[in-house]
Amino acid sequence: MSTFNFVAEPGAPARRGLVTRAREAVASMAVIPRMRRAPLAVLEERVRQRGDMATLDVGPYRYYLVHHPEAIRVVLETRADRYPRRTKIWSEIRRVVGDGIVISEGARWRSQRRRLRPGLSRAALAGYRARVVSRTDDWIDGIAGLRSVDMSSELSALALQVFADLLLGLPLTLEEARATARVMESISRELMARVTNPLAPPWSLPTPSNRRLRAGIARVDRLIDRALTLDARARVGPAAIDGLLPGDAAEGPPLPRDWIRDEAMTMLFAAHETTSITLAWTTYLLAAHPRWQTVVAGELAARASGDPSSARAELPALARVVDESMRLYPAAWFLERRSLDDDVLCGRRIPRGAVVVVSPYLLHRDPRWWPQPSVFDPARFERPPNKLIYLPFGAGPRACSGRHAATMVMHAVLRRLIARLELAVCSFEAPRPRPGVNLYPDRAVELAITPRAR
Ligand code: HEM
């Protein structure tokens, strides 16, 4: 981590003249439409021009783009408690998920993380795996007769079905999962539209978009309610949420009902879109790189067919394909924090209250750490990367608590998919990343499918 790319910014604010400040104000307004149209390009350009600790003014907001691994370590790890998630996007997300584990801080957060840990441990995940494989096989049975499939929407339905099952113990039909997934996607879209619109109306106003949001949240709430009132006999089996339910809590008194609701909502939102879009990107990359698809299929054929055990050691090519897919298209493409103190990161002053942005997307495409960064090459993961230049699941105490669950689900789904079907691209136009709450493909990932010859 020796190379440090730092370009001095214009002088300190106090020394800038009126004309300079007026010019900067105009420039910051001019960024707004570009930022709404092509945020990745704006961020990339800024970091390229200004280096590892750039600032970006978008209208009235100033962002500190923290791009150097040493500064990232401070923000996400060593001083993580002084860089909480208290920014605009998190306050919008809070409207949906309440004070669940992604929002809470301090003692409440520590207790939530402890209570959820057993349900997301490797031992618990090993118990869920057969359920994921069986749901995936049913799903493949349903699509196998088609010539082509919109993987983005199909995998979104499958991922929601799988996570309703293993997080909440709730059995959903694929049709129910499909409808709910669409509602959840529209909630994410509306939230992002509010974040990028400095004039977004207050939540209390009954505007059409606010009404849509409320109706969407109410619908997901009804689903959560169903899960939490489910008769024991109707449950799919043990689920990650069990550690929070009355009678099952390993520690302390039973939690209030609204806390449990917030946690269930948080987990479902945190798990569903991130995993389903990573799966969609990965199927696209496998279809677009038939050589790698053949390698993965060969690796699967060489192992016992259908054995759903952990892929990383046993199926290294599959694991590396997923790693490379998350390098190129990290679902969580930006991580936002607010600085609680005046600080200095890699020589740059960070004022108290500043909004700090770490972008895994930019970091994963920095040629200093990743030679030929835009090339899909899973072989680069033959050696594990430094954890501060590869952040698909974040880093530090607030890193993704569902990363093992996500990895298990993605590996299980892909191994059944590639064992049974051959994937090919349908269109010459590759999907491009479209940044929102997550990093979506900008169009349906339509893939041709044929049964794989055994
Ligand atoms: C490919 C799939 C996934 C990706 C890429 C992903 C990525 C991330 C990232 C980057 C963070 C940290 C955000 C930040 O630092 O601001 C995070 C946090 C979190 N994720 Fe995931 N995630 C995935 C799947 C899941 C799943 C399946 C679950 C639940 C089972 C989950 C639950 C959470 C929770 C609860 C947090 C907040 C942790 C805390 O603040 O203590 N995620 N995720």
Tens of pLDDT, residues 87-139: 999 999 999 999 999 999 999 999 999 999 999 999 999 999 999 999 999 99
Residue 339 has pLDDT above 80, yes or no: yes
| Ligand 1 pocket residue status of 72, Cβ below 6 Å | no
Q: What span, in angstroms and rounded, lies between the C-alpha atoms of 269 and 163?
A: 10
DSSP per-residue letters across 149-218: EEHHHHHHHHHHHHHHHHHH-----HHHHHHHHHHHHHHHHHHHHHHT-TTPPPTTS--HHHHHHHHHHH
> What is the distance in A from the centroid of ligand 1 to the CA of 215?
25
**Residue % of the chain over a pLDDT of 70:** 93
Q: Are 360 and 333 in contact (CB under 8 A)?
A: yes
Residue 379 sits in a domain whose CATH number is: 3.30.43.20
> What is the distance in A from the centroid of ligand 1 to the CA of 167?
13
Atom of ligand 1 nearest to the CA of 394: 10
Residue 9 has pLDDT above 70, yes or no: no
Nearest alpha carbon to residue 58 among 88, 83, 25, 91: 25
> What is the distance in A from the centroid of ligand 1 to the CA of 331?
10
| Ligand 1 pocket residue status of 271, Cβ below 6 Å | yes
Atom of ligand 1 nearest to the CA of 332: 10
Q: Are 167 and 240 in contact (CB under 8 A)?
A: yes
Which structure tokens are listed for 24? 């900067």
Residue 262's pLDDT is what? Answer: 96
Residue pLDDT, tens place only, 363-400: 999 999 999 999 999 999 999 999 899 999 999 999 99
| Ligand 1 pocket residue status of 270, Cβ below 6 Å | yes
List the end-to-end C-alpha distance of the chain, in Å, as a whole number.
47
Residue 34's pLDDT is what? Answer: 84
Atom of ligand 1 nearest to the CA of 167: 30
**Residue % of the chain over a pLDDT of 90:** 78
Please give the residue range of the domain that contains residue 51.
Answer: 1-97+333-391
Domain assignment present for residue 413? The answer is no
Domain assignment present for residue 33? The answer is yes
Residue 194 has pLDDT above 70, yes or no: yes
| Ligand 1 pocket residue status of 267, Cβ below 6 Å | yes
Position 422 confidence tier, pLDDT thresholds 50, 70, 90: very high
Domain assignment present for residue 78? The answer is yes
Residue 232's pLDDT is what? Answer: 78
DSSP per-residue letters across 120-134: GSHHHHHHHHHHHHH
Residue pLDDT, tens place only, 237-292: 889 988 888 765 456 677 889 999 999 999 999 999 999 999 999 999 999 999 99
| Ligand 1 pocket residue status of 275, Cβ below 6 Å | yes
Nearest alpha carbon to residue 413 among 332, 257, 300, 302: 300
> What is the distance in A from the centroid of ligand 1 to the CA of 282?
18
Q: Which residue did the predictor score with more confidence, 55 or 310?
A: 55
- Cα distances (Å, whole numbers) of residue 370 to 5, 365, 366, 377: 15, 6, 6, 10
Domain assignment present for residue 49? The answer is yes
Query: What count of other Cβ atoms lies within 10 Å of the Cβ of residue 289?
Result: 18
Residue 308 has pLDDT above 60, yes or no: no
Q: Which residue, by CA, sits nearest to atom 15 of ligand 1?
A: 394
Residue 357's pLDDT is what? Answer: 97
Position 2 confidence tier, pLDDT thresholds 50, 70, 90: very low
Position 208 confidence tier, pLDDT thresholds 50, 70, 90: very high
Domain assignment present for residue 19? The answer is yes
Domain assignment present for residue 410? The answer is no
- Fill in the DSSP letter of residue 298: H
Highest mean pLDDT among 10-24, 240-254, 328-342: 328-342
> What is the distance in A from the centroid of ligand 1 to the CA of 20?
41
Residue 172 has pLDDT above 60, yes or no: yes
Residue 245's pLDDT is what? Answer: 81
How does the average pLDDT of the chain come out, rounded?
91
| Ligand 1 pocket residue status of 396, Cβ below 6 Å | no
Residue 1 has pLDDT above 70, yes or no: no
Q: What span, in angstroms and rounded, lies between the C-alpha atoms of 109 and 132?
A: 29
| Ligand 1 pocket residue status of 406, Cβ below 6 Å | yes
Which structure tokens are listed for 318? 């599959």
Three-state secondary structure string covering 312-374: HHHCHHHHHHHHHHHHHCCCCCCEEEECCCCEEECCEEECCCCEEEECHHHHCCCCCCCCCCC
Q: What span, in angstroms and rounded, lies between the C-alpha atoms of 2 and 131?
A: 46
Q: What span, in angstroms and rounded, lies between the C-alpha atoms of 154 and 137?
A: 13
Residue 251's pLDDT is what? Answer: 60
Atom of ligand 1 nearest to the CA of 335: 16
Q: Are 445 and 431 in contact (CB under 8 A)?
A: yes
Which structure tokens are listed for 43? 């961020």
0.75 exceeded by the pTM? yes
Q: What span, in angstroms and rounded, lies between the C-alpha atoms of 438 and 260?
A: 25
Which residues sit opposite 226 in a β-bridge? none
> What is the distance in A from the centroid of ligand 1 to the CA of 182?
20
Q: Which residue, by CA, sits nearest to atom 19 of ligand 1?
A: 400
Structurally, how many domains does the chain consist of?
1
Q: What span, in angstroms and rounded, lies between the C-alpha atoms of 107 and 35?
A: 37
Residue 13's pLDDT is what? Answer: 45
CB-based contacts of 335, cutoff 8 Å, min separation 6: 76, 357, 358, 359, 360, 391, 394
Domain assignment present for residue 23? The answer is yes
Domain assignment present for residue 141? The answer is no
Q: What span, in angstroms and rounded, lies between the C-alpha atoms of 161 and 450?
A: 24
